[in-house]
A and B are shown apart, each in its own frame.
Chain A
Amino acid sequence: KQEVTQIPAALSVPEGENLVLNCSFTDSAIYNLQWFRQDPGKGLTSLLLIQSSQREQTSGRLNASLDKSSGRSTLYIAASQPGDSATYLCALEISGGGADGLTFGKGTHLIIQP
């Protein structure tokens, strides 16, 4: 069974710092990997999708990488801002058929101090 681990579980940094969130998974046979943010009591906002054949994706200050062979993905946030405070979730789709849905990590709770 695929297991997804996110490290650290919580992170608090001053505004302006660059930071890296980590996601690891046990089975490299994945279809794609998706990063989300979730604000308290809200739904999930999709940040980046990396297909299994891709190595990285970028959107604004965010960059996500994928190394299937080592079972790792990282989310890099540049020049962090207080508005980036949220829980960040890594999720995998195992099969391309979509019947499995997403398997989530437990998330990294991020606080950016003004």
Chain B
Amino acid sequence: DTEVTQTPKHLVMGMTNKKSLKCEQHMGHRAMYWYKQKAKKPPELMFVYSYEKLSINESVPSRFSPECPNSSLLNLHLHALQPEDSALYLCASSLRDRWGNEQFFGPGTRLTVL
């Protein structure tokens, strides 16, 4: 298995909703990442988990809450989002070994906040 999966593919939510994005990999990778990509812009890093420990990006609002239940799973909990949070949310993983830490991305979740 050489892929990163993300669910759901699409998500529409209101500003008062609570929802979660899910990411999974079975490549034995020990680092997992959340990126946010706005239209026609490059991805921007949100969070990094390395060996199931969080490295926080301080510019991320608290309405985004990551969780890493185990080394294969990564969740992003969403609460009280704003319309400007609408974007493609990408998950990635990497092995973090001495051969260079190549990152592999999932297909993304397209989020629309109404």
Q: Chain B: interface secondary structure?
A: strand
How extensive is the interface on chain B, given as a class? 20 to 34
Which listed residue, B35, B44, B100, touches A51 by the CB 8 Å rule?
B100
- A102–B99 CA distance with the chains assembled, in angstroms: 16
Per the CB 8 Å criterion, the residue count for chain A at the interface is 28
CB of B87, distance to nearest CB on chain A (Å): 12
- A33-60 to B contact mask, C-beta < 8 Å, 1/0: 0101000011111100111000000000
**Chain B interface residues (CB < 8 Å from chain A):** 4, 6, 31, 33, 35, 41-45, 48, 50, 55, 88, 90, 92, 94, 96, 99-108, 110
Contact A101 B101 (CB under 8 A): no
Contact A32 B101 (CB under 8 A): yes
Q: Give B107's nearest chain A residue, CB to CB.
A: A43
**Chain A interface residues (CB < 8 Å from chain B):** 31-32, 34, 36, 41-46, 49-51, 89, 91, 93, 96-107
Which listed residue, A31, A42, A43, A98, touches B48 by the CB 8 Å rule?
A98
Given A34-B103, A44-B43, A101 and B33 contact (CB-CB distance below 8 Å):
yes
Which listed residue, A41, A101, A103, touches B88 by the CB 8 Å rule?
A41
